[in-house]
Structure 1
Amino acid sequence: EGDECLSRIAQYVVSVPRPEDPDINPFLYTIPLQLLAYEIAVARGCDVDQPRNLAKSVTVE
């Protein structure tokens, strides 16, 4: 939050507010990081609906 240097060199910046209670941080950062992982996977051409090395016991048919 408030890092203007990063916004000058990066094409996209996602700002996440800093909560007063640091115990909330993992929950607050989960959604932006999941979206980042999704966008990276799509950009790399990965099939996000059928990830590799997924155990058969996890899949539902």
Structure 2
Amino acid sequence: ALAEEGDEAIRELADFVITVPRVDAIFSPVVNAVVLQLLAYYTAKERGCPIDFPRNLAKSVTVE
């Protein structure tokens, strides 16, 4: 689960909790997106996935 600092109720509901800083509601999506992008990056890296060459990426988008 992804939770803000100080949210102790979520710990009873989830096995694993990623804590993010408490920010104004308008900035919350940005903070959460950064944390989740880093989670996806390091998970893919640990699994040995080709991070720089994802599957099904259109050739017109690829920059060499």
TM-score by length of 2: 0.67
In the TM superposition, what are the counterparts of 1:18-37 in structure 2 within 5 Å?
Answer: 18-19=22-23, 21-37=24-40
Per-residue CA deviations over 1:3-60 (Å, capped at 9, x if unaligned) read 3x47xx65xx6431121x2121111112211110011101221010111110111011
Percent pairwise identity: 55
RMSD of equivalent CA atoms = 2.1
**Which structure 1 segments of 5+ residues have no match?**
none
Aligned residues: 56
Unaligned runs of 5+ in 2: none
Matched, 1:15 2:19: yes
Matched, 1:54 2:57: yes
Instruction: Give the helix-richer structure, 1 or 2.
Output: 1
| 1:45 alignment partner in structure 2 | 48
> For residues 46 and 31 of structure 2, what CA distance do their matches in structure 1 show?
24
* C-alpha distance in 1 between matches for 2:20 and 2:63: 34
